[in-house]
Chains A and B, each alone.
Chain A
Amino acid sequence: GAGVSQSPRYKVAKRGQDVALRCDPISGHVSLFWYQQALGQGPEFLTYFQNEAQLDKSGLPSDRFFAERPEGSVSTLKIQRTQQEDSAVYLCASSLEDRGRGEAFFGQGTRLTVV
């Protein structure tokens, strides 16, 4: 597709369950970001990849959160032992240039609900 694709669109997880969220960036985009958007809030930065290198993971809220982009294209955000406070929309964005310069294109997000 032409845009950033995220799957699944919706995920319901039982507390304590592990989840994996997928992001397919626009083909050829070097930079990839993950954001977390709680209900009624703006997105908050989680982590940044330049190709396969994770250059910044300062926004990951705990060591239960892990992200990877092994071949510099598709990325997966994994959350272990989910908690209710993890309920949010997880947004992925990609941009063509390195260092994140240039316009970032966002996916529609994955809405995670932990019950």
Chain B
Amino acid sequence: GDSVTQMEGPVTLSEEACLTINCTYTATGYPSLFWYVQYPGEGLQLLLKATKADDKGSNKGFEATYRKETTSFHLEKGSVQVSDSAVYFCALSGRGYQKVTFGTGTKLQVIP
């Protein structure tokens, strides 16, 4: 079945550091790929998505590129802020309706 593997956390960075959170997936066909973010005390929010190979999703300075050849969708940001501290989930959905398969989440803590 479908699965998502992402790097374990927690990840602790200083403000303005570069961020990469690795994510790889296993799925049949051509899934859509997502990054969700969960800020403390809040619900899951869609951060960005990509629906086909070589698509780049971007939002709030975060980017991720759909790499079919390596089955990866790594999340990157050039300069993190304290307000980016949250748990980040890589996810995918297959054909048909969007039942989403999530990774285990990576906690990011950004310190001033």
Identify the A interface with B (CB < 8 A).
3-4, 31, 33, 35, 40-45, 48, 50, 55-56, 91, 93, 95, 98-104, 106-109
Q: Does A45 contact B44, Cβ atoms closer than 8 Å?
A: no
Minimum CB–CB distance from B35 to chain A (whole Å) comes to 12
The reply to whether A44 and B102 contact each other, CB–CB distance below 8 Å, is yes
With A40-B104, A42-B103, A42-B104 known as contacts, the answer to whether A91 contacts B44 (CB < 8 A) is yes
Residues of chain B having any CB pair with chain A under 8 Å: 4, 36, 41-46, 89, 91, 93, 96-105
Give A99 to B98 CA distance when docked, in angstroms: 7
B105 touches A100 (CB 8 A): no
B46 touches A100 (CB 8 A): no
Q: Give the total number of A-B pairs whose CB atoms are below 8 A apart.
A: 61
- With a CB–CB cut-off of 8 A, which chain A residues contact B41? 108
Q: Is the CB of A104 within 8 A of B46?
A: yes
A100-B96 Cα distance, complex, nearest whole Å = 8
Contact of B43 (CB < 8 Å), options: A4, A31, A95: A4
Task: Give the distance in Å from the alpha carbon of A56 to the alpha carbon of B93 in the complex.
Answer: 14
Contacts of B42 in A (CB 8 A): 108
A104 touches B100 (CB 8 A): yes
With A and B bound together, what is the CA distance between A31 and B57 in angstroms?
24
